[in-house]
Structure 1
């Protein structure tokens, strides 16, 4: 479980391909907005305004994607902390010969962490499909 969380966290880091793709797309949108805006007199103000609205919508979607990646990264960090705490508690309970409580504590956290991972995967799939 820990390895899966760490691996997923690595994929959400700023230097990971997903974050770099988001940054590149953001830069591309900004460049397109600048290019189109510079051609306002040639293309016509109404046409340019319509294109700018589209690009602004794309920018908002990219901003949501960036926020989503950040939120998921924070959720992973939190899940890792919860997992560490549960492991420590389970070890302490075992030391106190309370194996049933230790197993229950560990399984509860594993279920929670598993749900966090599934929620992140679902949101990333939705994020990937929103641009399609």
Structure 2
């Protein structure tokens, strides 16, 4: 799994327990999943359809640096299913895991459309082909 995105837990991200608010972390994950999908499917029109059980393992605190990892699991006809792990950048302590996030490829009309992808591609693969 590649961990590309890092976030710094700041005072405005905290809940009343002085730990990272779960909703803020889910916002960051949803954004990262969308960006990953846009790059993979080469289409900026994507939406989140499904997020499976969210397993909160440890709670980050103010000042922690976390990193979000996203990985493609399967490619559907109009969708891509991802998995996600979040960990503490410095300690490598697990923070959260999500087994499935399904993102759907949309056409200009906002309806699901086939994307034609079957495997992970990297920008270098597209440039050299």
The TM-score normalised by the length of structure 2 is 0.24
- Where is the strand percentage greater, Structure 1 or Structure 2? 2
- Where is the helix percentage greater, Structure 1 or Structure 2? 1
The TM-score normalised by the length of structure 1 is 0.24
Which protein is bigger by CA-based radius of gyration? 1
